[in-house]
Amino acid sequence: MRAEGIETVRRILCVFPRYTSSFGTFEYAYPLTDGVQAFMPPQGLLLIAAYLPANWPVRFIDENIRAATTEDFEWAEAVFVSGMHIQRQQMNDICRRAHAFDLAVAIGGPSVSACPDYYPSFDYLHVGELGDATDDLIARLARDPSRPAQQVVLQTADRLEMTRFPIPAYELADIKRYFLGSIQYSSGCPYQCEFCDIPGLYGRNPRLKSPQQITAELDKLLECGVTGSVYFVDDNFIGNRKAAVDLLPHLIEWQKKTGYVMRLACEATLNIAKRPEILEKMREAFFVTIFCGIETPDPDALKAMQKDHNMMVPILEGVRTINSYGMEVVSGIIMGLDTDKPETGEALLAFVDESRIPLLTINLLQALPKTPLWDRLERENRLIEDDSRDSNVDFLLPYDQVVDSWKKCMEVAFEPEKLYARYQHQVDFTYANRIKVPVTPEQKTWANIKRGLIMLRNIFWKIGVLGDYRKVFWKFALPRLKHGDIEGLISVAMIAHHLIMFARLASVGQHNASNYSIRLREVSVPAE
């Protein structure tokens, strides 16, 4: 649904801030693609854009693709911004630029909802999810779009049911410039891991869209030109297991109908390994990747962070089970936990070897507001506000020791030989278990073939000829070519290249040890 009953017309400029380099956004892979410039279409801002009154013209700009221009600001009557903590400085910068045009600026999304005080200059703070605060904001702008005399905080008390969410306005985004497509089925998570802000922000009782909404969204993504991978951004795909079971047959049907042009990915807790009935259906729906927050292989640490549900099956067994349904596990790992010991880095590298997981996001612990971790560390006087550090946590081990251990893990885990060996394992023991999707006319379009050829050319030239790890690459690539597995080759080569490049710089201190740290993010850089 849209906001209704508003006669006045307002022109709204929605601006999504630029990310800075991060392990999880794959930017070292972009030069190998056919023009990708950004990670995923931002769900929140495109959702708000779709919710605005039908007669309000909306422009959407993702500054990862291009910066908002003078002409954009002159066109607009008000500006909407949304983003995560890591984009805080960029969001404040967009506000400053919009104010130069005397425009009212509203901010919504996860960062302002958790930390309104990060955004003192904005005119409107939209705290919480889509709901009565959104209607209030729209009504106020309809009455008067000029800047209010002082900041107005609008907090959602009554959230809009997700079944009434409109389809995000994907048509406003330059969808082909994104590395992945994105979609959201549910919000919230029933668990309460100590470090996580999801239950605090979105609740413990997952709210849901309907399966029909999801297939309609997939139709729209397809219409807008998404092929390749689509990521369910839900915090936990099995947060409501029954809902996952209800959705999967619809996804299977949709994939059959549209010719399997999309490979699906999601985030889920590792105890999904105990649910063969769900895994089997995910396999049929062509889910190829699951991000699991494994966090640590140390059972004591899992207990301490209230993530015991990761131990419902032995971790390695859980990973193997998921692999046996054709899905690669991507793992989140945290270092700097109170339970860490001097030998934690070594143990983690042994786990990487044993699990054969190629892609692990290894981060230093960061305390986020609205989490039990934050509250505990505050009580213990162990929160440190110092932008020169990679974490705001006063670790029990010496800070330098933790950072050095992280650098060592990054360096060793993503050595080209080791990484490609893990990918070879995936080819043999995971990808081999995927359903054999029929080659359909939808996949063989000229646009898809051209895209594949461009990516292959880039990969062969930039990695196979110029790359300093080309020998390792060809050892993997030649058998793939022999098997005609071009798609598999492209996706592994692109991701591996990002991981190798990022880890090399990380191991010499040129990348942050935490996705949340702002140490290297001081300058707000609009897209050129």
- 3-state secondary structure at position 508: coil
Q: Which is nearer to ligand SF4, 191 or 423 (CB)?
A: 191
Q: Which is nearer to ligand SF4, 131 or 332 (CB)?
A: 332
Q: Which is nearer to ligand SF4, 62 or 267 (CB)?
A: 267
Least gap, CB of 361 to ligand SF4 (angstroms): 13
Task: Determine the Cα angle at 99 with ends 90 and 116, to 5°.
Answer: 55
C-alpha span between 263 and 142 (Å, rounded): 41
Least gap, CB of 201 to ligand SF4 (angstroms): 10
* Structural contact between residues 493 and 19, judged by C-beta atoms closer than 8 angstroms: no
* Structural contact between residues 243 and 208, judged by C-beta atoms closer than 8 angstroms: yes
Total residues in contact with ligand SF4, by rule CB under 6 A: 11
Binder to ligand SF4 among 87, 184, 240, 269 (CB under 6 A)? 269
Q: How far is CA 4 from CA 79, 163, 234, 454, 494, in A?
A: 20, 17, 28, 45, 45
The DSSP bridge partners found for residue 28 are none
Least gap, CB of 307 to ligand SF4 (angstroms): 6
Least gap, CB of 420 to ligand SF4 (angstroms): 29
> By CB under 6 A, is residue 278 in contact with ligand SF4?
no
Binder to ligand SF4 among 206, 293, 369, 372 (CB under 6 A)? 293
* Structural contact between residues 90 and 83, judged by C-beta atoms closer than 8 angstroms: yes
Q: Which is nearer to ligand SF4, 192 or 445 (CB)?
A: 192
Q: Which is nearer to ligand SF4, 141 or 189 (CB)?
A: 189
* Structural contact between residues 270 and 294, judged by C-beta atoms closer than 8 angstroms: yes
Least gap, CB of 412 to ligand SF4 (angstroms): 26
Q: Which is nearer to ligand SF4, 199 or 358 (CB)?
A: 199
Q: In this structure, are strands 186-187 and 207-208 parallel, antiparallel, or unpaired?
A: antiparallel
C-alpha span between 224 and 176 (Å, rounded): 8
Pull the structure tokens for residue 143.
């009455």
Least gap, CB of 188 to ligand SF4 (angstroms): 8
**Contact pattern for ligand SF4 over residues 183 through 202, marking x by CB under 6 A:** ------x-xxx--x-xx---
The DSSP bridge partners found for residue 292 are 331
**Contact pattern for ligand SF4 over residues 223 through 262, marking x by CB under 6 A:** ------------xx--------------------------
The answer to whether the Cα torsion of 460, 426, 363, 353 is positive or negative is negative
Least gap, CB of 24 to ligand SF4 (angstroms): 15
Pull the structure tokens for residue 113.
């909802």
Least gap, CB of 193 to ligand SF4 (angstroms): 3
C-alpha span between 497 and 475 (Å, rounded): 15
Which residues lie near ligand SF4 (CB under 6 A)? 189, 191-193, 196, 198-199, 235-236, 269, 293
